[in-house]
């Protein structure tokens, strides 16, 4: 007699998606980091479980995409600001 496998959704996958969205709405950088970590934890948890036992791979993937995209744009904006203000600092130092 086979015991049916109970399907559950990974809590880490849900957290990944939530923090991925929150990183865009009000918790920049830290929300993205949490989304990325939770997304990787969830996908590993889902892969190690028996097939079909844990759901949420799509949620984890969406959280990863949102987190990595936010982190990339955050890094690009930081680089642009440092370049912009660094250029002004260099110009101000060489005008005297």
15-23 mean pLDDT: 96
Write out pLDDT tens, residues 80-89. 888 887 777 7
Q: Is the pLDDT of residue 96 over 90?
A: no
- Boundaries of every domain in the chain: 8-94
Among candidate residues 60, 31, 68, 28, the one with its CA nearest the CA of residue 44: 60
Task: Let me know: does 72 contact 25? Beta carbons within 8 Å.
Answer: no
Enter the pTM of the model.
0.81
Helices (H) and strands (E) in the chain, counts: 3, 2
For residue 14, what pLDDT is reported? Answer: 96
For residue 5, what pLDDT is reported? Answer: 57
């Amino acid at each position: 007699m086979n015991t049916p496998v109970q399907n559950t959704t990974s809590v880490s996958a849900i957290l990944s998606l939530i923090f991925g969205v929150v990183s865009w709405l009000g918790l920049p950088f830290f929300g993205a980091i949490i989304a990325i970590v939770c997304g990787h934890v969830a996908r590993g948890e889902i892969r190690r479980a028996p097939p079909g036992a844990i759901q949420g791979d799509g949620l984890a993937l969406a959280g990863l995409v949102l987190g990595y995209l936010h982190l990339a744009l955050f890094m690009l904006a930081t680089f642009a600001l440092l370049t912009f203000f660094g250029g002004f600092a260099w110009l101000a130092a060489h005008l005297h």
